[in-house]
Amino acid sequence: MIEIPVYVVISILSGYLCYIFVPIVKRYCVDHELFDMPGPRKIHTEPIPRLGGVAMFFAYSLGLIPGFLLLPDLWQSNVKPLVGIYIGGLIIFILGVVDDIKGVRPITKLAWEIIACLVVIAFGVRLDVVNIPFYRLVEVGWWGIPLTLIWLVAITNTVNLIDGIDGLATGVGAIIAISFLILSKIMALPLPSLLAAGIIGVTIAFLKYNYFPASIFMGDSGSLFLGYIFAVISLFWPKSFATVVMFIPILALGVPIIEVVTTFLRRLFTRQKIYIADQRHIFHILLDIGISREVTVWIFYLVSIQFALITFAITAGNRNNLFVLQFAFIILTAIVISRYLKRGKAGGK
């Protein structure tokens, strides 16, 4: 009975801490001229503080403490993986901060990401089995190490790759975290629930500052850390849900992951360096055809919600649930479209 209010407390506390930390970080960035400067590849036209991830990281870390104090059994039964998760997360966070301030070569960044993820694996967080649809559970043995490593590194970078418009990565991150919390509760998984609850708080609070027009960016320190936490949480699903484990982040980040794959293939076939950024992402295309930044962000939000709803229905194993959720999504989409159409008419008068 105590678990539900604990998750609420964690979300509220993490959110409150992030809310009060962000102005402090903004002032520090202004005083030390730590800005994301406008450029050919950038959408913003003014210098914006870029270390929002610092506020998110510390708010998240401090916000989780009461959860483990209130649920001591959860801490005691997961000490080893939690230590590994924190060490790996700290490496990812520091890497992001250094990249935000000084810049890090792509190959160096990848090397440190691999090190961070290997730390997590060394502390026992890894895939042991994979549920092959229409077949059975398959033990992967030592192959679990490279499979887990690839998964962790890939998902860690996914959030970073969609962090291109005000509020995009933050809002999608909040949707993913809410999805994780609901799914974790459905499957009675207290640790992923707790980890997701903290992310809900920090992303919603940070969105207040990051939504268009943004007054601060999360930077790599925030986007890499968010992706890392999502990747780690997904590995805690029970063996019988191993297939769902792999599809929850994919479904929640459907369009961004498609973007990652298409970007990789495009650069591969055009012999462009994989790590060289460009302006050919999906959100760039939407902007180029005349869709506003705010509407583009909401398109991503709605698609993420759609994938999350499908995941809920699959997890519950009830087609009726899928129908109800899809109907609710259609209503939500209609409301959003109606809102922007009315705003457009009002602006045209």
Q: Please report the pLDDT score of residue 105 as a whole number.
A: 93
3-state SS assignment for residue 112: helix
User: Mean pLDDT over residues 163-192, rounded?
Assistant: 90
The tens digit of pLDDT for each residue in 264-285 reads: 776 677 776 665 665 666 676 7
Which of 148-152, 184-188, 223-227 is predicted least confidently?
184-188
Give the pLDDT mean for 238-243: 55
pLDDT of 277: 60
What is the reported pLDDT for 349? 42
pLDDT computed for residue 312 by the predictor: 78
pLDDT in tens, 81-130: 999 999 999 999 999 999 999 999 999 999 999 999 999 999 999 988 77
Q: Residue 277: name the closest of 77, 66, 39 by CA.
A: 39
Residue range 280-325, pLDDT digits in tens: 666 767 766 777 788 888 888 888 888 888 777 777 666 666 667 7
Return the SS3 of 131. strand
What pLDDT score does 299 carry?
A: 84
CA distance 273 to 50: 25
Q: What is the pLDDT of residues 14-23, one digit of tens each?
A: 999 999 999 9
User: Which position has the higher pLDDT, 67 or 139?
Assistant: 67
Closest CA to 248 of 230, 270, 274, 271: 230
- Amino acid of residue 182: I
The whole-number pLDDT of residue 136 equals: 67
User: H helices within the chain, ranges in order?
Assistant: 3-31, 52-70, 72-76, 79-101, 106-122, 144-161, 168-186, 190-210, 219-233, 242-252, 254-269, 282-288, 293-316, 319-348
Q: What is the pLDDT of residue 333?
A: 73
Assessment of whether the complete model's pTM goes beyond 0.85: yes
pLDDT at 8 over 70: yes
The whole-number pLDDT of residue 247 equals 62
